[in-house]
Structure 1
Amino acid sequence: MAHSTNTASDYALEARGLSKAFGAFNAVKDVDLKVKRGSIHALIGPNGAGKTTCFNLLTKTLTPTAGQVIFEDRDITRLRTAQVARLGLVRSFQISATFPHLTCLENVRVALQSGFDKSFRFWSSLAAIRPLDARAMELLDQVGLADRAQAKATELSYGKKRALEIATTLALDPKVMLLDEPTAGMGHEDIEPITDLIRKVSEGRTTLIVEHNLSVVSSLCERITVLQHGEVLVEGTYDDVSSNEDVIKAYMGGVDAH
């Protein structure tokens, strides 16, 4: 029977009263966040707002001082990073996390191996891992890198490296992808292709991104949560957020201060 009201199962990922203190410093304070299943949701804010700390709490890189993380209606607050990754909550890092001297194909195959209990066994016979090549090529094709399969990651342009990183993230078959600054450091010519790629690979998945480029956020994201000083300042659509006086003040202050 269909229900018109939202239930917990409408949300793939939630933070409930999430807090993190480092000594006397409260990096994240009582954050509530609901990421709707199948949506692209942005977490934004000026420098020092607590975005990366919040990401680290959601992906279990950090343990919260207080609060809960709920993934697919399950409390994962006490689980470890590897455990939540196996459940389907996968993070792509701001600094490219690929192996620079492996080829694109080998990078994606390493990621695929982790899903087949062959994780990082570089000494496995080629025959044992060869069946993964077809899937690796599919993923490379999906991110526009099929023609660079035999190129080493270090030979790629910055934008192509980010595409490769997205392919390795997809190799883990995420239900929820967390993308940390996917367009950081990119030239203008790379931003649009990566934005289009994120839109494409997010189909059928839930995506949460931290992103400074507000034009990227406006074109991709259905909901936006703004953090300031570790707390939620406002949440809404891009139009709601971009016209909010507190957000304008926070961003102007953040730009001037840094």
Structure 2
Amino acid sequence: MSNVILETRGLTKEFNGFTAVDSVDLQVQQGHIHALIGPNGAGKSTFFNLLTHFLPATRGEVLYQGKAIGKLAPNQIACQGLVRSFQISAVFGQMSVLENVRVALQRPLGTSFHFWKPASTLNMLNERAMQLLEAVDLQSFAARKTVELPYGRKRALELATTLALDPKVMLLDEPTQGMGHEDVERVVELIRRAAVGRTVLMVEHNLKVVSSLCDRITVLARGKVLAEGDYPTVSANPQVREAYMGKEAAHV
């Protein structure tokens, strides 16, 4: 299908005889927000690591914009526009919020390792960095040390640094994990805004977030695709209910 931007075919990962991801076929449509959900241990994070080659697949392939990317290094995949975030906060705590975004903006310039140059040489990136901070409602925090930010704001900063790499597809791993209600609502709105003109594939446990945000949902259980569809279809599936709530509760 011409509007499929990211696809897996028979993607499998085995660890010493244990199959964590089992022959997963997935198609992500361009411009969609697509959720990957499932109970703990379903293989979701492993699947993300296979997509970006942080882990090599045992079998199967990943296609991005119609081309196999399984032989590319993670940084090469990111440079092509397939960019991910992580469950664990991945920002530089002792740098300012603005400086974190500037580091991300450096990558396309090829100056990331020019340690001998004064920081003032990066001032040309300030305008774009501020635009990205405004996009995630962090402009008033620009000068603050990142370590001082509340958790929800740190996740918003990660979204800004992801956007700095100008992704075509954003892979978001548990973007609302550990957040209170107010922070969840803020981050959901930021993702919705960031997704305009882009594609998002997200691992997410919060089903309220999934129901309000996602066009399509794939459910994993024990490494296999259990169900796929929009939220009403998936949430009504007895197998999905059993996977999340147990056999007896699923039939109440």
Q: Same fold (TM over 0.5)?
A: yes
* Percent of aligned pairs sharing the same letter: 59
Q: CA deviation at 1:78?
A: 1.1
Mapped partners of 1:136, 1:123: distance in 2: 22
Aligned ranges 1:1-258 → 2 under 5 Å: 7=1, 9-253=2-246
Which 4+ residue blocks in structure 1 deviate beyond 6 angstroms? none
Q: CA deviation at 1:188?
A: 1.1
- Alignment-mate amino acid for residue 184 of structure 2: I
Q: CA deviation at 1:189?
A: 1.5
SS in 1 for 2:246: helix
Kept in 2, the 8 Å contact 1:38–1:206? The answer is yes
Mapped partners of 2:150, 2:197: distance in 1: 28
Mapped partners of 1:82, 1:52: distance in 2: 18
Mapped partners of 2:222, 2:78: distance in 1: 28
Instruction: Map Cα deviations across residues 100-140 of structure 1 (whole Å, 9 max, x no partner).
Output: 11000000000111111011434422342111111111100
SS in 1 for 2:208: helix
Q: Which residue of structure 2 lines up, in the alignment, with residue 4 of structure 1?
A: none
- Alignment RMSD (CA, Å): 1.3
Q: CA deviation at 1:249?
A: 0.1
Q: How many residues align structurally?
A: 248
Mapped partners of 2:63, 2:16: distance in 1: 25
Kept in 2, the 8 Å contact 1:113–1:120? The answer is no
Mapped partners of 1:121, 1:67: distance in 2: 39
TM-score, reference length from structure 1: 0.94
Instruction: Map Cα deviations across residues 162-187 of structure 1 (whole Å, 9 max, x no partner).
Output: 00000000000000000000000001
SS in 1 for 2:83: strand
Runs of 5+ unmatched residues, structure 1: 1-6
SS in 1 for 2:219: strand
Q: CA deviation at 1:86?
A: 0.3
Runs of 5+ unmatched residues, structure 2: none
TM-score, reference length from structure 2: 0.96
